[in-house]
Structure 1
Amino acid sequence: MENAANTARQQGTTTGTELVEVVLPGIVEPEGLQIRHRQIPAPGAGQIVVRVEATGVSFAEQQMRRGRYYDQPPFPFVPGYDLVGTVLTAGGGVTPGLVGKRVASLVKVGGWASHVVLDAADAVEVPAGVGAAEAETLVVNGITAWQMLHRKARVRQGGTILVHGANGGVGTVLVQLARAAGLRVIGTASARHHDALREMGVTPVDYRAEDVPARVRELAPGGVDAVFDHLGGRSVVDSWNLLARGGTLVAYGSATTRDDSGSKQLPVLKILGRVWLWNALPNGRHACFFNVWEGRALGKNRFRARLSADLTQVFEALQRGEVTARIAARLPLTRAAEALRLAESGTVAGKIVLVPDTGAGTSAAEAR
């Protein structure tokens, strides 16, 4: 991260403890990320300052650095979709007992920092005994998986589902939650991940070497009860055609268009158009496009309450052993470029976690 190391301190002076954050300045290669140092802001009314102990690298950041995430803010900004950390200070109106607690939060941007200012209402307490990195793997991935499975698909026990990218951050949580719910799971992944998927009770399909639709039809001749598709493009059409009567397609991304040029909204709009058309047909099947933020239409308070309830359910599943925290690698925050490269390589399973710069961390080579 040569550019980052050479970036001057751009804001404020640094006395005592300072805030360190990773900045995405524009459409750049991972090595174009910058490091910025500034003073830690004071919390306002209803706010808290969190010392970040773990933040993650998700597909969203991969799209954002290409300018391809459909509602990303204008450059420059600090990426980082979620975080886990300890509450250092609180502003007026915040319950005093929150200071010193470990909390998790879904932020969309801003998580790649040593300290973050949050609305206290957006923080969810992490259960005692759950480590920061372990909890981090289950924030955006866990909420996404839980809500898609239990709020959107609602497949009955004994049903069969297809999970594309079953080795990925969302995929690994989703298949474990599905198995805990008594579902049969078919999962696509490259061959190197098949043994790990079998250990989780998943029937793997090699998307590189096999005709996925044909293989799934062999495994589920009557169709599957739900498909979870983050790929978009042609895949979402194949996924729809694999559904049994009464089945649900949950589309939640457009990974196949990650490296495309042109409009970043168009791939999502195409999926939304298909979803609308399919749902208008009297065919006994249903499709939806999942966005974790869509719940905001319920109102801010209801959205926060549902988010907190669902993340708490995921943490409880972790404590029961139904879900394991699958950490692909832990890298210091200032090695975010290396972490992003590793995430984009497609060679790891689980979540890549950024941790404070204490000299600890797993190198990209070790993570493989």
Structure 2
Amino acid sequence: MTKTVTTTSTTEIVLPGRVEPDGLVVRSRELDAPEKGQVVLRMEATGVSFAEQQMRLGKYYDQPPFPFVPGYDVVGRVTAVGPGVDASLVGDRFAAVTKTGAWASHLLVDAVDLMPVAEGVDAAAVESVLVNGITAWQMLHRLARVPAGGTVVVLGANGGVGSTLVQLACHAGITVIGTASARHHATLRAMGAAPVDYQEESMYARIRELAPGGVDAVFDHVGGAGVEQSWQLLRKGGTLVSYGSAATKDDEGDSRLPVLKLFARLAAWNSLPNGRSAHFYNFWAGRRRCHASWHRRMSEDLTQLLRLIADGHLTPQIAARIPLGDAAAALALAESRTTTGKIIILPDA
């Protein structure tokens, strides 16, 4: 029998418009009772991704209109269910990908989007590999399919996705060249990667020195003019995986234009008879067409990542743990580009 629910108090972080991080607004309100197919999730961990940094500037490809609550993914515990949802879920832990809305103490989530999380697993560790880890796993193993013994380049290897990619590739017997500022090189070496300073003009020349025969894959979240250089690093049969356009984050004008230009460039390269391929990784690809299949892949890949953590083969890279009420500081820290891994937002004490 479905449990009857009235309302739940929630604290949310609102992005009111194009503001600096300190312009985020903390709001408390009564959360509506869950509708058919929904649950109320009490947040145990969420985090800051590059998407929120783009959304702050109104530059994320399909963000909602201002004002809205950011938060791309969440780990939490069900506190109430709506009609049509099994009441036994109350008290269980789950992860979910929300795109927006997760920077809140309590939020409504569609039950079909829940992915089970075992008791005893650190919520921050799960959060660190939720979107970031699934993205890294799918780009490496489902899209590029780099074999053991291959060589890859990871741009921004100190970031949330990048640091996970480095570890997954090294665990799979793949040689990794990772770009980052010099302050992160010791960390990258400890993970097993050969670091290259992205602030040096000779970055691409240095990568060619390390891999004179070309590389099997380049994972590029930067986009912009530099994506041409990433393409040129590939050997015959190599794969360029683009998954962002960080270089154009601060550009004025239509936020869709840089992405559309990137799509056109990748398509043009794929038409060339040179044995190389170029792809844009879209986390949401296939969700509308077949949600069940998309959700099954997400759950399978998250399970693989959590198993690697449990076995000690993947170390969650957590840059900081910051309370929800200090989300502005969390966002500012993420944008400082001084950290390794993901910044986790936790419930207020």
Q: Which residue in 2 is equivalent to 1:364?
A: none
Q: Which residue in 2 is equivalent to 1:130?
A: 121
Asked if residue 309 in structure 1 is aligned to residue 300 in structure 2, the reply is yes
Q: Which residue in 2 is equivalent to 1:200?
A: 191
Moved more, 38-47 or 139-148: 38-47
**1: distance between equivalents of 2:102 and 2:77?**
13
Asked if residue 265 in structure 1 is aligned to residue 256 in structure 2, the reply is yes
**1: distance between equivalents of 2:80 and 2:99?**
22
SS at match of 2:287: helix
Aligned match of 1:244 in 235, 240, 244? Answer: 235
Asked if residue 209 in structure 1 is aligned to residue 200 in structure 2, the reply is yes
- Superposition pairs of residues 118-197 of structure 1, within 5 angstroms: 118-197=109-188
> What are the Cα deviations for residues 68-104 of structure 1, in whole angstroms up to 9, with x where unaligned?
1111111111000001111111223323332211111
> What are the Cα deviations for residues 136-191 of structure 1, in whole angstroms up to 9, with x where unaligned?
11111011101111111001111000000000000011111111111000000000
Q: Which residue in 1 is equivalent to 2:80?
A: 89
Q: Which residue in 2 is equivalent to 1:9?
A: none
The alignment's TM-score, normalised by the length of structure 1, stands at 0.91
SS at match of 1:18: strand
SS at match of 2:31: coil
**2: distance between equivalents of 1:181 and 1:123?**
29
Per the TM alignment, residue 41 of structure 1 is displaced from its structure 2 partner at its CA by: 2.2
**2: distance between equivalents of 1:251 and 1:222?**
21
CA RMSD of aligned residues (A): 1.4
- Superposition pairs of residues 1-368 of structure 1, within 5 angstroms: 18-209=9-200, 211-296=202-287, 298-358=289-349
Per the TM alignment, residue 209 of structure 1 is displaced from its structure 2 partner at its CA by: 2.5
Per the TM alignment, residue 297 of structure 1 is displaced from its structure 2 partner at its CA by: 5.1
Contact 1:127 1:315 in 2 (8 A): no
Per the TM alignment, residue 287 of structure 1 is displaced from its structure 2 partner at its CA by: 0.3
- Gap change, CA 1:297 and 1:40, over 3 Å in 2: closer
- Identical-residue share of aligned pairs (%): 61
**2: distance between equivalents of 1:88 and 1:174?**
34
The alignment's TM-score, normalised by the length of structure 2, stands at 0.96
**1: distance between equivalents of 2:294 and 2:236?**
31
Contact 1:126 1:315 in 2 (8 A): no
Question: 5+ residue gaps in structure 1?
Answer: 1-14, 359-368
> What are the Cα deviations for residues 280-310 of structure 1, in whole angstroms up to 9, with x where unaligned?
1111000001110113254111111111111
- Gap change, CA 1:181 and 1:304, over 3 Å in 2: same
**1: distance between equivalents of 2:93 and 2:184?**
33
Contact 1:165 1:189 in 2 (8 A): yes
Per the TM alignment, residue 205 of structure 1 is displaced from its structure 2 partner at its CA by: 0.2
Amino acid at match of 2:130: V
Per the TM alignment, residue 49 of structure 1 is displaced from its structure 2 partner at its CA by: 0.8
Contact 1:57 1:80 in 2 (8 A): yes
**1: distance between equivalents of 2:119 and 2:324?**
24
SS at match of 1:295: coil
**2: distance between equivalents of 1:50 and 1:165?**
32
> What are the Cα deviations for residues 223-244 of structure 1, in whole angstroms up to 9, with x where unaligned?
0000000000122110000001
Moved more, 91-100 or 49-58: 91-100
SS at match of 1:79: coil
Per the TM alignment, residue 252 of structure 1 is displaced from its structure 2 partner at its CA by: 0.3
> What are the Cα deviations for residues 108-128 of structure 1, in whole angstroms up to 9, with x where unaligned?
000100111111110111133
SS at match of 1:149: helix
Moved more, 313-322 or 225-234: 313-322
**1: distance between equivalents of 2:101 and 2:7?**
22
- Gap change, CA 1:205 and 1:21, over 3 Å in 2: same
